[in-house]
Structure 1
Amino acid sequence: MNKTYLFAASGVVLAGGLLWLASTPDTGGMGHDMTPPDTSQLAQGAAIVQVRMPAELDAKAQMGERAFEAACAACHGAAAAGQNGVAPPLVHRTYEPSHHGDAAFLMAVQNGVRSHHWKFGDMPPVSGLTASDVGNIVAYVRALQRENGIE
């Protein structure tokens, strides 16, 4: 009898939770907007977003900036602003820490990424970067994100 009551109560709680989720306004999920910006009016290769640069970068982010420019900027653009038709901006809510944690950047570099948020095609693995290099790159990207209101 107690198991039946517990099962029924669990069902009521589950149903209530589902009703609450269905009635909650959509805020883009966890504070980020997964909708890529409209780039139809941008020239091929143009920066997708405007990036404000921090006044200062700490030593780790400075090393990350150099590594980013050497290994990532050819696709993701200067200051991670993206390039229309080439690769997405990393200074975008899609890549905020609560959605793409720091480890996601390392996995992307090591394994590549199947296209899923943007329509630029798959990202291939990037050779020649160590885990330390990627950690520095992440420090740089996170500094750019913070300066641009992405926490």
Structure 2
Amino acid sequence: MRSLQVSVLSSVILMLGIAPACSQSGVEPNAPGTGSTAPVEFREGEQKFTAHCSRCHGVGGVGTTQGPAFLHKVYEPNHHGDVAFQRAAANGVKAHHWQFGDMPKIDAVKPEEVDEIVKYVRWLQKQAGIF
């Protein structure tokens, strides 16, 4: 089972790319309409994730040097429920699992947008075998 999870995670990372969250050209990698791998029902969340989250959490949620990967067991729904994402966007988060520093609140994202982002993140996590 463990080797299957590693294989699925590796496939997801390869499909999504291991590019840095911000390209040198200033254009976000995997911008809307440029190679989405998400099913149609998750693309709105993917676009919002790319716009609001990928700078720190990486394209496809793989993390960067500025923020943790969401493709980690600590972010499974039983540990960080969907409401945790809402609170993080609305209030920011004090560093508690990682050494990336505090997450600022994200004023530009509305609660209904966070709902779409969470659906996309949960889809990514399922693809990676997180839950």
Whether TM exceeds 0.5 here: the answer is yes
Q: Which runs of 4+ in 1 moved over 6 A?
A: none
Alpha-carbon distance between aligned partners in 2 of 1:146 and 1:68, rounded to the nearest angstrom: 17
Contact 2:38-2:46 within 8 A present in 1 as well: no
Residue identity matched to 1:132: E
Q: Structure 2, unaligned stretches of length 5 or more?
A: 1-8, 17-36
- Confirm whether residue 102 of structure 1 aligns to residue 82 of structure 2: yes
User: Higher Cα Rg: structure 1 or 2?
Assistant: 1
Aligned ranges 1:136-151 → 2 under 5 Å: 136-151=116-131
Q: How do 1:124-135 residues align onto structure 2 when only pairs under 5 Å count? A: 124-135=104-115
Q: Unaligned regions of 5+ residues in structure 1, if any?
A: 1-48
CA shift for structure 1 position 79: 0.5
C-alpha spacing 1:130/1:81, structure 2 compared with 1 (3 Å): same
**Paired position in structure 1 for 2:51:** 70
Letter in 1 for 2:49: F
CA-atom RMSD, angstroms?
Answer: 1.9
Q: CA deviation at 1:91?
A: 1.1
Q: TM-score, normalised by structure 1?
A: 0.62
Match runs of 1:15-34 below 5 Å: none
The CA distance in 2 between the partners of 1:78 and 1:104, in whole Å, is 20
The percent of aligned pairs where both chains have the same amino acid is 43
* 3-state SS of 1:127 partner: coil
Give the number of aligned pairs: 101
